[in-house]
Amino acid sequence: METPGVILHPPFKYMRTPPSLLPEKEFRSHAPGYWKNKKIAPEDWNSAAWQLRNRITTLAQLEEHIELCEEERAGVILSGNKLAMAITPHYFNLIDGDDPECPIRRQVIPRIEETWEDPDEMADPCGEDSHMPVPGLVHRYPDRVLFLVTDRCASYCRYCTRSRVVSGVGEQELHTDYEAVFRYLEKHDEVRDVLLSGGDPLLFSDGKLEGILKRLRSIPHIEFIRIGSRVPIFLPQRITPELCQMLAKYHPLWMSVHTNHPRELTTEVKAGLERLANHGIPLGNQSVLLRGVNDDADVMKSLVQKLLMCRVRPYYLYQCDLIQGSSHLRASVNTGVEIIEQLRGHTTGYGVPQFVIDAPGGGGKVPVNPDYVLLRDEQRTLIRNFEGRTFEYPEPAMVRA
């Protein structure tokens, strides 16, 4: 029952934005976008190979399409010193060419702020190198491992946790020893869950990716395989019926995609995600909380609702890792907590991700939640709901005794 007269938390001011006014709720195709004058055949545009061949990778290519601000231009010139720039035409079309603060631009176009030094930042913020028993395999948690199968992506996020090894210009090189990884997994029967990541595993050909999956499935104690990928967002043309049919042979197989802003969920992306779901692949989304991108409750609400329409469950909202050169993109932890608070109770429960901090230095994911438990003792637990109202839940009498 509600506890009369007890107000331990101020009344909660929750979102009242009408659904029709939420940002970017509609699914749209942005093709041909900046390429409309190039007379590109539809079969080329819809080809993953064409998209990869025609990525934006140079300053000249960028300036052919949009006017850069000074911070972006300087950042692009210096980008090869830390993390290469590459943007697929599909994703590039989402950029607002007139707005340097466009949430899509901030994710993929380098800025001079990436060169700023911050003593709190790290090359390996998640401590992966210190939990790598063989090259390319991270074994931090008791029953699951991270298998880094490649160092390449379709496009490069400027806040990449693995910028030290990804894109081929980082301070380290990724030298995954596949046979050593498979031998390690065969010997460690406590491992039941393998996550393929990198880089992006879906950049591999169907045959090469199937070779890895088949080898993993030959190890009896591996129950569960996951693929972490941003290809469905950066390169939806890669999500072909043939790929989906191949993946479906290796169930239970799950996929974690990475979407940060509702504009990224285009009609092409929705079709690719639905194709994966139709082949029995459960989909979860991992977002990174980014300043100027999704550090707003209405933006996040639009994102999670669109994800559910794509049959993707919002899974994690990550506090941005302390990667070197990311200070201009990191929002506060308090902002993340407030966003979760403004989602809980105000949208579908399936749409509320778990906000986590990957503990700096290798401590693993730590959940961070709003304070819904106000008091707890042997007699009762005092809680508040999404409206800020307080309630008392009594402990069972046998527990009190």
Given a cut of 90, whether residue 169 has pLDDT beyond it is no
Q: Residue 291 catalytic?
A: no
| Cα–Cα nearest to 260, from 73, 24, 14 | 24
Among 157, 158, 238, 306, the active-site one is 157
The mean-pLDDT minimum among 7-21, 26-40, 103-117 falls in 7-21
Among 230, 270, 321, 330, the active-site one is 321
Q: Residue 162 catalytic?
A: yes
The model's pLDDT over 126-135, given as tens digits with 9 standing for 90+, comes to 999 999 999 9
Q: Residue 140 catalytic?
A: yes
Is residue 12 very low, low, confident or very high in pLDDT (cuts 50, 70, 90)?
Answer: very low
C-alpha span between 151 and 156 (Å, rounded): 11
The model's pLDDT over 314-361, given as tens digits with 9 standing for 90+, comes to 999 999 999 999 999 999 999 999 999 999 999 999 999 999 999 999
pLDDT on residue 2: 45
Contact 272, 311 (CB under 8 A): no
Is residue 5 very low, low, confident or very high in pLDDT (cuts 50, 70, 90)?
Answer: very low
The model's pLDDT over 192-208, given as tens digits with 9 standing for 90+, comes to 999 999 999 999 999 99
The mean-pLDDT minimum among 47-56, 241-250, 384-393 falls in 384-393
Give 182's DSSP letter.
Answer: H
Q: What average pLDDT does range 3-9 have in this prediction?
A: 44
Q: Residue 73 catalytic?
A: no
Q: Residue 217 catalytic?
A: no
pLDDT on residue 23: 85
Residues 6+ apart with CB under 8 A from 135: 175, 176, 177, 180, 181
Given a cut of 60, whether residue 41 has pLDDT beyond it is yes
User: Bigger pLDDT: 398 or 333?
Assistant: 333
The mean-pLDDT minimum among 4-13, 62-71, 72-81 falls in 4-13
| Cα–Cα nearest to 92, from 110, 104, 80 | 104
C-alpha span between 31 and 237 (Å, rounded): 12
DSSP 156-167: --TT-TTTTTGG
Q: Could you tell me what percent of the chain has a pLDDT over 70?
A: 93
Could you give the 3-state DSSP secondary structure of residue 384? strand
Strands 390-394 and 380-384: antiparallel
Q: How far is CA 153 from CA 166, 192, 231, 232, 310, in A?
A: 8, 26, 8, 12, 23
Q: Residue 157 catalytic?
A: yes
Mean pLDDT of the chain: 92
Q: Residue 208 catalytic?
A: no
Could you give the 3-state DSSP secondary structure of residue 348? coil
Is residue 81 very low, low, confident or very high in pLDDT (cuts 50, 70, 90)?
Answer: confident
Give 321's DSSP letter.
Answer: P
What are the sequence ranges of the domains in the chain?
Answer: 27-115, 129-367
Phi, psi torsion values for 229, nearest 5 degrees: -150, 145
pLDDT on residue 9: 46
Could you give the 3-state DSSP secondary structure of residue 202? helix
C-alpha span between 219 and 2 (Å, rounded): 54
Q: Is 157 annotated as a binding residue?
A: yes
Q: Could you tell me what percent of the chain has a pLDDT over 90?
A: 84
Separation of first and last alpha carbons in the chain: 22
Among 102, 126, 160, 310, the active-site one is 160
Among 14, 69, 144, 250, the active-site one is 144
pLDDT on residue 17: 67
Is residue 62 very low, low, confident or very high in pLDDT (cuts 50, 70, 90)?
Answer: very high
C-alpha span between 21 and 23 (Å, rounded): 6
pLDDT on residue 1: 44
Q: Residue 377 catalytic?
A: no
| Cα–Cα nearest to 62, from 75, 47, 49 | 75
Is residue 37 very low, low, confident or very high in pLDDT (cuts 50, 70, 90)?
Answer: confident
Given a cut of 60, whether residue 295 has pLDDT beyond it is yes
Contact 241, 55 (CB under 8 A): no
CATH superfamily of 129-367: Aldolase class I (3.20.20.70)
State the alpha helices, DSSP H only, in 251-332: 267-278, 297-309
Among 55, 102, 105, 153, the active-site one is 153
pLDDT on residue 20: 65
Joined together, the tokens standing for residue 81 give 């010193």
8 Cα distance to chain centroid: 35
C-alpha span between 346 and 342 (Å, rounded): 7
Per the DSSP assignment, residues forming a β-bridge with 375 are 382
pLDDT on residue 16: 58
Given a cut of 90, whether residue 82 has pLDDT beyond it is no
Single-letter amino acid code for the residue at 281: I
Q: Is 244 annotated as a binding residue?
A: no
pLDDT on residue 400: 59
C-alpha span between 381 and 230 (Å, rounded): 42
